[in-house]
Structure 1
Amino acid sequence: MRYHLLCAVAASTAIATPAASSYDYIVVGSGPGGGPLAADLARAGYSTLLIEAGGDEGDNPTYADIMNFNEAANDETTRWDFWVKHSDDPARDLKFKHTTWDTGEGTFYVGLDPPEGAKLLGIQYPRAAVLGGCAMHNAGVCSMPADDDWNIVVNKTGDTSWSAENMRKYLKKIEKNEYLPPGDEAHGYDGWLATSVADNSWAKNDSLPGTRMLRKLAKLTGQDPDKAADLVNRDINEVGENVDETTSFYNMVTHATSKGKRSSPNNHIRATLADPAKYPLTVKLHTLVTRVLFDNATLKAGSTPRAIGVEVMDGASLYKADPKHVPGTKGPVSQIFASREVIVSGGAFNSPQILKLSGIGPAAELTKFNIPVVKDLPGVGENLGDNYEGSLLAMGSAPVESGLITLLFRTPSAPTKKRNIYTWCGAFSFEGFWPGFPTYHGPTQYTCAMVHMAPKSQAGSVNLVSADPQDKPDINFRFFERHGDQDLRELVEAANLLRQAFNAAGEPAAPFVEKHPCNGDTDQLCTDELQTEYFKLQAYSHHATSTCAIGGDEEEMAVLDSKFRVRGVEGLRVVDASAFPVVPGAFPSCPTMMLSAKAAEDILADAKKKKKKT
């Protein structure tokens, strides 16, 4: 398959104001971590500079309307293309069906048989360089992680403010719930992040193929088929005893309004800028941060290095992940200072890159590129983790009338009692990411997409390829390197369960012909061994986390303490998904926004303490 490399560039809405030379706080990156944090610091009265490498597309329907998420993720107006590896074995990665190549003719080739002379790019992992970050191009799923995913920080650091019970207050703080009656104590109704659900009334129509599949899935997972039409409206973000061990249908929650408008950090930033209170927030767009600056006096032996600002390069499309980047293009370089702190919120790929370019990371790697070592922190860029994702895709004999079926369940071999699969089934196609995704297989396509929760392997890394801040890092997820047999077994078990529901659709939708993981229409062709090999080679992901992980004082690979402070330096924090010690649940977007609200509270508490001392 061929896809054009470049398309027309839409104009960005200019909301930036001229940057001063110094602020109380500088926040680098406007995604789910940094965007809300910058707004909250400014609303507390502190002069705050928010730096974003992209522009503002808040008024662009491609981003503002949540239904356009596929177009948003493909849009070269904001897309950054990272070409990642899934393993240390190049031959294995070349079996990934959506491997992408540059033809040299202004097009991409996606597949296993590239034209002669094509340049290997790798496996696409798109990120969003835009005000609001990846929350502006995702599908907007808002789902809470298991309690243990929060409590692990308590266990590592002793900081009880990370307990799942306490973390819930941050959802309540940011949420503007539009799908439950006011008064539910587990939710918020006055925050900046709208949450909503779809109309699932279709499930009451017993004549639909999708309803018959729903009832079959209920039976397969120990639920009452006669109650399935009501269970599909269950709150996926409920609280209660043993919630994380509960197999059930749910209504998928999205961070969008009930009218289908995306709700993201972009809205919170814009509202803060437009507020009559004139909060001291400055947004600097189309600006690439090249490194964090440190006070020279604190770099002397025996002193604790202190961050005092950032160096930036001004201009659009300066980073080489941007498909609009023109080779050799640079921008003017300047320095901006922070009297209190610098907060890096570039995400799981760019936050460790910025730290390393600034001299914070594994000493051997920094020395290799002649970067002066400010602090030897071997965990920077390590511990990269992600959810494994895959799908069961089949073609029906006729279109499958159905709404979206959302199901969380536990497979038989899961090592704990917690559910480990988040699946959503419907008449769509989702097979991963590549330029131009997804493939439309026709009106009879039907998919159960799966996200594997609590993956056992977090063996990936983000490493520099040079000291040039415009270069993309080398990213290797090392899928299934640790406990891979167990994770693969769980994926196969999930596929085997979901497959049983397909033909329950009945005529005219059934029978189905499966396209993957098993290509064919007979059970004899679909062995566990075949499926294991399929998922090992074709699993994909888009929830990268944990490359600047919070950890305990005695952990060699810990990068941050429980207050997001970079260990061994002062005046520097990291607030984004890279801070999670493990992948949080099935979708990290809303958990990262909650993490941001916690970081704001921690930073403001520190500022208050310092004010009292002076």
Structure 2
Amino acid sequence: MAKTEGFNPVDHFDYVIIGGGSAGCLLANRLSRDPSHRVLLLEAGKKDNYLWIHVPVGYLYCIGNPRTDWLYNTEPDAGLNGRQLRYPRGKTLGGCSSINGMIYMRGQARDYDRWAALTGDDGWSWENVVPAFKAHEDHYRLDDDEDPQTGDNSRFSDLHGHGGEWRIEKQRLRWDVLDAFAEAAVQAGVRRTADFNAGDNEGVGYFEVNQKAGWRWNTAKAFLRPVLKRPNLTVWTEAQVEKLVIATGADGARMCKGARVRRAGSVVDVEARKELILSAGAIGSPAILQLSGIGPAQHLREKGVDIVADIPGVGENLQDHLQIRSVFKVKGVKTLNKLANSLFGKMMIGLEYGLFRSGPMSMSPSQLGAFTRSDDSQSHANLEYHVQPLSLDAFGEPLHRDPAFTASVCNLNPTSTGSVRIRSADAGEAPAIAPNYLSTEEDRKIAADSLRQVREIVSQPALAKYQPEEWKPGVRYQSDEELARLAGDIASTIFHPVGTTKMGRDDDPMAVVDSRLRVRGISGLRVVDAGVMPKITSGNTNAPTLMIAEKAATFILQDAAAGA
């Protein structure tokens, strides 16, 4: 292999992991188990020693905060009638698991069976990913030998794990208005479910969350802190990668040799002797690849980046879940609006959390969930509800004063796709994020149908005693055209970007990585994060990202052993 011009590493490691988020923390844990492996984990953000990361309601103070968030925004979006959205991404150890909604959700079995078909690799089928989910789970329902409801935990333990690093607990609160919404959903034909994560998540119930004794349980606490004393593991925070270093041999073969990193005001090179693993997320990873000359050739030329590999799929295939928020005023029932708008109420909220680690400060952003079908022709649940005992104009704004609840609904399988593209060759400039929401007729139709379904559920007898009144969007909007246009006015992301470095078959020209997550045409380089998903999962995306990392760790170690 030819010497790489200008590459002068300050140190070398067997494995260099870029991104200390959900995937990166798990990978650092798994790859450093063998004391003969020197592992470096690079995180552009700071340590996760900020109090609000760990208090569940602290996401309100982490999103939009440069201490913990990259502060991205989308491009003006035609599907949103020209609006731009705030696009939070975690910038701290733990990544998005430090600022997200803490909801534990695998998706549907059909999601993974589809991945297996798209990649030609049965290893991604539901049957074969369940062990990877279980490998790191610590599920509260397995704390006891018997399920308190059925007296038998054997079937549950076939699907879930116990004793792993990733704690899953039930929420430490309940609300009458949410119980009533759940009953209304049942009256509208939605079944109850005790487990959203058994392969078919259709039903209504309270979300399970990644918390431990009322605190947020992020991946830095779960996977990284317990192993920081390993002498073969090095963690650099506030270390931003400017580019990957790719060497080209005399035979034209390309190999990733390491990374160029800006840290403490200096730029240094680090060498990856076995592999470099890119785990910077569905926004960060394609941006780093493009800055390194790996991506759509025409775009890279336009931005003044020397082309290393023309891989057109880098940054394409962006998929996300867009939620539409409906707000209903209610009477005769407690919601968080009134409680949080009084000094006494705030004092009581703080006291309850201080004494018991329960109540509103232990809340995830959404408490009650439901998975339904937008119409009878759907073969599976294609909508997800996030129901909250509160209301506000927009995320981060003050709560309304009148008692109200919010029912947000999203299309689980959007057909609209977008892109992530660098704006320049400057690693410090945020990439252009263009989700292209509601850009297909199918997505617009499902948006309209979902708003009608919310109204149907709220009209059921279970909620009648609270006299729900549609406040937003308003009953005056009825036609498909009105509701689709309205969705563009009020919808917002729930922060689930995936697909921008998708895996696929050899004959898929847009596939960036193969089914073992190796970047095509460049040895020693893998991508391991939500970007590799060929299709978005039918639910929240943090748990699937951890599963991907668990499988990737196995791939990496197997390939190293095979090449030894």
Name the TM-score, length of structure 2 as normaliser.
0.85
Distance 1:500 1:56, change over 3 A: same
Would you say 1:477 and 2:429 are equivalent positions?
A: no
Partner of 1:339: 273
Q: Quick check: 558-567 or 363-372, which moved more?
A: 363-372
Partner of 1:105: none
1:135 to 76, 93, 97: 97
Q: How big is the shift at 1:511?
A: 4.2
Distance 1:93 1:159, change over 3 A: closer
Partner of 1:191: 164
| Paired residues of 2:118 and 2:534 also in contact (CA < 8 A) | no
1:251 to 206, 219, 234: 206
Partner of 1:567: 520
Partner of 2:533: 580
CA distance in 2, matches of 1:525, 1:76: 38
Name the TM-score, length of structure 1 as normaliser.
0.79
CA distance in 1, matches of 2:393, 2:220: 27
Which residue identity lines up with residue 220 of structure 1 in the other structure? A
Distance 1:71 1:155, change over 3 A: same
Distance 1:41 1:493, change over 3 A: same
Q: How does 1:54-453 map to 2 (within 5 A)?
A: 54-57=45-48, 59-85=49-75, 87=77, 89=78, 96=83, 122-180=84-142, 181-182=144-145, 184-198=157-171, 208-223=176-191, 231=192, 234-239=194-199, 243=200, 247-274=202-229, 278-296=230-248, 298=249, 300=250, 302-315=251-264, 331-400=265-334, 404-412=367-375, 416-429=378-391, 433=395, 437-453=396-412
Q: How big is the shift at 1:350?
A: 1.2
| Paired residues of 1:194 and 1:263 also in contact (CA < 8 A) | no
CA distance in 1, matches of 2:286, 2:190: 44
| Paired residues of 1:67 and 1:260 also in contact (CA < 8 A) | no
Which residue identity lines up with residue 46 of structure 2 in the other structure? G
- Equivalent position SS for 1:468: coil
CA offset digits 1:23-61 (Å, max 9, x no partner) = 00000001112221122101133111000001112x433
CA offset digits 1:346-373 (Å, max 9, x no partner) = 1111111111111111111222233221
- Equivalent position SS for 1:462: strand
CA distance in 2, matches of 1:210, 1:48: 46
CA offset digits 1:158-192 (Å, max 9, x no partner) = 22111111101111101111134455221111111
Q: How big is the shift at 1:539?
A: 2.1
Partner of 1:517: 473
CA offset digits 1:418-467 (Å, max 9, x no partner) = 1011113231236665xxx1441125021012232111122x11112111
Would you say 1:502 and 2:458 are equivalent positions?
A: yes
Query: Percent of pairs identical after alignment?
Result: 26
- Equivalent position SS for 2:134: helix
- Equivalent position SS for 1:478: coil
- Equivalent position SS for 1:179: helix
CA offset digits 1:390-441 (Å, max 9, x no partner) = 1111222354469943211111165x411011113231236665xxx14411
Partner of 2:355: none
CA offset digits 1:173-219 (Å, max 9, x no partner) = 011111344552211111111001125776xxxxx554444322211
Q: Where does the alignment leave 5 or more consecutive residues of structure 2 unmatched?
A: 1-8, 146-152, 337-365
CA distance in 1, matches of 2:266, 2:299: 27
Q: Where does the alignment leave 5 or more consecutive residues of structure 1 unmatched?
A: 1-18, 97-121, 203-207, 224-230, 316-330
Q: How big is the shift at 1:582?
A: 1.1
2:484 to 510, 513, 532: 532
Partner of 1:100: none
- Equivalent position SS for 1:80: coil
Q: Quick check: 464-473 or 398-407, which moved more?
A: 398-407
Distance 1:80 1:200, change over 3 A: closer
| Paired residues of 2:190 and 2:204 also in contact (CA < 8 A) | no
2:414 to 455, 462, 467: 455
Would you say 1:40 and 2:30 are equivalent positions?
A: yes
- Equivalent position SS for 2:327: strand
CA distance in 2, matches of 1:535, 1:413: 22
CA distance in 2, matches of 1:405, 1:306: 48
Q: How big is the shift at 1:557?
A: 0.7
| Paired residues of 1:150 and 1:162 also in contact (CA < 8 A) | yes
Q: How big is the shift at 1:86?
A: 5.2
Report the number of matched residues.
513
Which residue identity lines up with residue 218 of structure 1 in the other structure? V
- Equivalent position SS for 2:433: strand
| Paired residues of 1:397 and 1:510 also in contact (CA < 8 A) | yes
